[in-house]
Amino acid sequence: MSDTYISRIRRRAGLLSLGMSSLLFLVILAGCYVYPPPGPYPYYYGASTYDRSWNAALAAMQDVGVSMVSSDRNGGVITGIKDGVDTSITISTQADGQVRVVFNSRGPSGQDPGLSNRIYQAYERRMGR
């Protein structure tokens, strides 16, 4: 074998090992990619369930035709009157975060007995149920 042939083989082997080591380096580098931390993406906070329940209760009273007497948002009490029947809705947040809504009607016996039920149904419609 001639010296030129041997030097060509050594050169090719050197280039081959350089190419293989470069390829191995790129594969390892690609496997070590670190994703950037998540950015401060805006998050939409919808209306709280208390606010939603409060608004639905007010609208339900109006839908049924009850005249508002008073509404105390902080206390969670809405009172009204219709044809001599006093109605009230009490909204409170419980310890587990759920909202409790209570419907009451008081008036002379036999006078509009289904008023609370109609207000409740209007409330459920407003809540989308």
Q: Tell me the pLDDT tens digit for each residue of 1-51.
A: 566 655 566 566 565 566 677 777 777 767 666 777 766 665 555 556 889
Residue whose C-alpha is closest to residue 82's, from 98, 106, 65, 57: 65
pLDDT band of residue 78 (cuts 50, 70, 90) is: very high
Helices marked H in 32-91 — which ranges? 49-64
- In a domain? residue 64: yes
Residue ranges making up the domain that contains 58 = 49-126
Is 119 contained in some domain?
A: yes
When comparing pLDDT for 28 and 118, which is higher?
A: 118
- Examine residue 30 and state whether it is found in any structural domain, yes or no: no
pLDDT value at position 63? 93
Count of domains for the chain = 1
Domain of residue 106, CATH code = 3.30.530.50
CA proximity to 98, closest of 50, 46, 45: 50
**What pLDDT is stored for residue 69 in this prediction?**
93
